[in-house]
């Protein structure tokens, strides 16, 4: 199988490229900074056509992950890059898929679970989930993220690829022990005593273990009857206070001091990020995957946290010994 991953040099792309490469597939990552990897990396700029388009001719799947990281301050310049990098690259990939011959079988396009409303009462699924943006207490930064997600999904929906099935991945945070990923960051904070509940700790955290993320994408590639929006998240999101308590326990962290909203605002400024990533309630469940019989290997957080922490510790021991 040939898998082409535009924007596949980041956290999620590395998880996928590594897994598909290990299985013996032909993996091609499109990147603005081609470097040597165990898979092929081909140059593109994410904005304009080029020789990279030939890689799509007859490939089996295109997984477009391109987008400036949202882990930054939402300045005017960053906001523009966050939105443009997603919308422009999605249109570009859509046009390249439409022109490819033979056509790719399936296009899996990254979107985000952040598109759903901040809520506590019920989980958001693909059928009855509320899209965000109209919450009366939503800060401007939360509205911005939803505007980006809507524009991103709009660019995908408008792309006409009659011979290629389209699937939109509303993914939760994808957890792997890799350095600098979101899990690594959370573990490091927890081990420094900063793993207490954030705010009142009631906000839900949606997450997915890397092995379930890879399996879900593989499953979506194989199931021709599935197209449109698919939530890629474990079926059991949980409140921040419980999520952090389990993480502290599994990674051997000391009790964590709770952080109030103003403490988080200062911390976010120092870390050059936004509190939205920790304070917004993301209660998202994968109804379509479950209805179609997809089996999660790590549906519950304690077992997922144990496995991830185990590999995180092994990796660090090896790193220190080297
Ligand atoms: N990580 C998660 O848990 C998560 C959850 C939900 C949704 N998502 C979405 O899934 C996608 C992949 O996530 P990720 O964590 O792997 O992201 P990432 O580590 O930030 O990687 C995204 C890639 O996009 C490319 N890129 C960045 N800025 C760009 C720009 N201005 N123009 C063109 N390309 C640019 C970069 O590749 P080069 O520098 O090599 O060109 C980068 O490696 C993102 O769109 C993200 O919003 C991620």
**Would the CB of 67 count as within 6 Å of ligand 1?**
yes
Distance 257 CA to ligand 1 centre (A): 31
Q: What is the pLDDT of residues 216-266, one digit of tens each?
A: 999 999 999 999 999 999 999 999 999 999 999 999 999 988 998 889 889
By percentage, how much of the chain surpasses pLDDT 90?
85
Q: How large is the average pLDDT for residues 274-278?
A: 87
* Of the candidates 173, 237, 233, the residue with the CA atom closest to the CA atom of residue 205: 237
- Give the residue, out of 41, 64, 67, 284, with the most ligand 1 atoms within 8 A of its beta carbon, to mutate for a pocket test: 67
* Of the candidates 249, 241, 239, the residue with the CA atom closest to the CA atom of residue 191: 249
Distance 9 CA to ligand 1 centre (A): 8
Q: Residue with the nearest Cα to atom 40 of ligand 1?
A: 31
Which atom of ligand 1 sits closest to the CA of residue 169?
Answer: 7
In three-state secondary structure terms, 217 is helix
Please give the pLDDT value at position 271. 86
**Would the CB of 174 count as within 6 Å of ligand 1?**
yes
Distance 249 CA to ligand 1 centre (A): 30
Q: How large is the average pLDDT for residues 299-310?
A: 98
What are the b/e assignments for 244-278, b being 16+ CB within 10 Å?
bbbbbebbebeebeebeeebbeebbeeeebbbbbb
Please give the pLDDT value at position 257. 86
Q: What is the pLDDT of residues 163-182, one digit of tens each?
A: 999 999 999 999 999 998 99
Distance 72 CA to ligand 1 centre (A): 13
| Domain span including residue 164 | 2-321
Q: Residue with the nearest Cα to atom 18 of ligand 1?
A: 10
User: What's the pTM?
Assistant: 0.96
Q: How large is the average pLDDT for residues 293-300?
A: 98
**Would the CB of 89 count as within 6 Å of ligand 1?**
yes
CATH of the domain at 120: 3.40.50.720
Q: What is the pLDDT of residues 42-89, one digit of tens each?
A: 999 999 999 999 999 999 999 999 999 999 999 999 999 999 999 999
Please give the pLDDT value at position 106. 98
**Domain total of the chain:** 1
Q: How large is the average pLDDT for residues 36-47?
A: 97
**Would the CB of 33 count as within 6 Å of ligand 1?**
yes
Distance CA 246, CA 312 (A): 15
Identify whether the C-beta of residue 47 lies closer than 8 Å to the C-beta of residue 89.
yes
pLDDT higher than 90, residue 315 = no
Please give the pLDDT value at position 317. 79
Please give the pLDDT value at position 304. 98
Q: What is the pLDDT of residues 93-139, one digit of tens each?
A: 999 999 999 999 999 999 999 999 999 999 999 999 999 988 877 88
Distance CA 299, CA 95 (A): 37
Which of 100-109, 191-200, 283-292, 303-312 has the weakest average pLDDT?
191-200
pLDDT higher than 80, residue 321 = no
Identify whether the C-beta of residue 176 lies closer than 8 Å to the C-beta of residue 312.
no
Identify whether the C-beta of residue 256 lies closer than 8 Å to the C-beta of residue 201.
no
Please give the pLDDT value at position 81. 97
Distance CA 123, CA 273 (A): 26
Which of 71-75, 286-290, 301-305 has the weakest average pLDDT?
71-75
**Would the CB of 31 count as within 6 Å of ligand 1?**
yes
- Tell me which long-range contacts 267-273 makes (C-beta under 8 A, separation of at least 24): 267/194, 269/73, 272/72, 272/73, 273/71, 273/72, 273/73
């Amino acid at each position: 199988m040939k898998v082409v991953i535009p924007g596949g040099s980041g956290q999620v792309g590395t998880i996928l490229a590594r897994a598909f490469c290990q299985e013996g597939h032909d993996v091609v990552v499109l990147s603005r900074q081609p470097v040597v990897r165990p898979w092929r990396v081909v140059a593109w700029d994410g904005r304009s056509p080029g020789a990279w388009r030939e890689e799509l001719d007859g490939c089996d799947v295109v997984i477009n992950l391109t987008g400036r990281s949202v882990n930054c301050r939402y300045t005017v310049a960053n906001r523009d890059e966050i939105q443009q990098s997603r919308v422009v690259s999605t249109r570009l990939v859509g046009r390249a898929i439409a022109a490819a011959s033979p056509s790719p079988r399936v296009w899996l396009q990254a979107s985000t679970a952040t598109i759903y409303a901040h809520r506590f009462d019920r989980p958001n699924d693909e059928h009855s989930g509320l899209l965000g943006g109209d919450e009366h207490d939503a800060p401007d930064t939360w509205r911005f993220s939803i505007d980006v997600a809507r524009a991103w999904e709009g660019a995908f929906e408008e792309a006409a690829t009659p011979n290629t099935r389209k699937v939109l991945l509303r993914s939760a945070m994808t957890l792997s022990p890799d350095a600098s990923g979101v899990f690594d960051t959370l573990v490091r904070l927890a081990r420094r005593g900063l793993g207490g509940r954030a705010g009142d700790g009631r906000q839900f955290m949606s997450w997915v273990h890397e092995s379930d993320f890879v399996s879900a994408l593989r499953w979506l590639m194989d199931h021709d009857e599935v197209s449109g929006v698919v939530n890629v998240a474990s079926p059991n999101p949980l409140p921040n206070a419980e999520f952090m308590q389990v993480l502290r326990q599994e990674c051997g962290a000391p009790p964590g001091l709770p952080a109030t909203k103003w403490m988080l605002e200062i911390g976010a400024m120092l870390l050059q990020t936004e509190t939205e990533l920790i304070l917004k309630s993301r209660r998202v469940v994968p109804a379509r995957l479950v209805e179609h019989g997809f089996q999660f290997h790590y549906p519950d957080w304690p077992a997922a946290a144990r496995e991830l922490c185990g590999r995180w510790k092994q990796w660090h021991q090896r790193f220190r010994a080297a």
